[in-house]
Amino acid sequence: MAELTYREAVADAIAQEMERDDKVVFLGEDIAKAGGVFKTTVGLYDKFGPDRVRDTPISEQAILGAAMGAAMTGLRPIAEIMFSDFFAVCWDIVVNQIAKTRYMTGGQVTMPLVIRSANGGGVRFGAQHSQSIENWAMMIPGLKVIAPSTPADVKGLLAASIRDPDPVIFFEQKSLYGDKGEIPDGEHVDELGTAKVVRDGTDAVIYALAAMVPRSIKAAERLEADLGIRVSVVDVRSLVPLDTRTIFSEFRKSGRAFTVEENPRLCGWGAELSSLITEECFWDMDLPVTRITTPHIPLAAADNLEDRMIPSVDRIYETVRAGLD
């Protein structure tokens, strides 16, 4: 086992897949000699050269247009959109072109394309650079949507995304980039469409994603230590495909569920989980599903306000405690 940071795991996964397959290419702003604005791509330019690791102009439309063309002609491109907020600039290419081409051509044109992006808040970048936009992507047919919480999942799920024949939106939570974790030695490839039970419990279940996973685990540990309440935590990891088998089986243990999401409350992914659980597990329910979210307002830049808006360990703890009283 090697210990890497979340950001180092990004470069490790890309290097693994570029060494394995010379059709894998990488393009984006400042990803080459600079090593990425978040230092997630350090060393790739020196190792693979300018033909396979290419800096682009500051144009999200140009980045994704070039990546789409590369995918259509036989390459396996990885494209970086520096901040996920800037998907708004190139959303037409994602929604009306990349997501639909395989379907509109009857499978004659495949789209093995990964779009990586730094997502979410917690690092004081303000309303235009801190959004959590997983819900934007998961509503579009034709896209796969992944958001890992640990370095091992970053490497394994990014490698699986690069090998996948369909377009994958890969969200990296920027406040996690410095987190460390063990990664298996050698080639490491995970499976898309799988959730992971990261803490066992019998009194309730918390479903969380990305930066909300470690916070949910800490809240669950406090609930058991303080009150004897044993809460399981499920790292959803993959929003599309969604691992409903794991989601439902964990819910049926207790009939009590909470979702913890960084998305604004309106139309967040937790609402979809709540709907699915209600439809499929109604007779197992002891309580309605409770959603713990960011409020439906632009995210603040001030540290005290941002901390109040994004679900915290304390808020998760208090909400679950009150919900189970």
The residues carrying an active-site annotation are 129
- What span, in angstroms and rounded, lies between the C-alpha atoms of 19 and 47? 10
Within 10 Å of residue 260's Cβ, how many Cβ atoms? 26
User: Distances in Å between the alpha carbon of 135 and those of 18, 57, 120, 195?
Assistant: 30, 28, 12, 17
| Radius of gyration of the chain measured on its C-alpha atoms | 19
Nearest to 171 by CA among 259, 237, 101: 237
Q: Quote the tokens at residue 47.
A: 């190792």
Q: What CA–CA distance (Å, rounded) separates 26 from 179?
A: 24
Give the separation between CA 247 and CA 235, rounded to whole angstroms: 10
Specify burial of residue 57 (Cβ count, 10 A radius: 0-12, 13-18, 19+). Answer: exposed
Q: Which helix H or strand E contains 110, and what residues bound it?
A: none
Strands 76-83 and 114-119, how do they pair? Answer: parallel
At residue 310, φ and ψ (nearest 5 deg) are -80, 135
* Phi and psi, residue 171, nearest 5°: -95, 125
Backbone angles phi, psi at 170, to 5 degrees: -115, 105
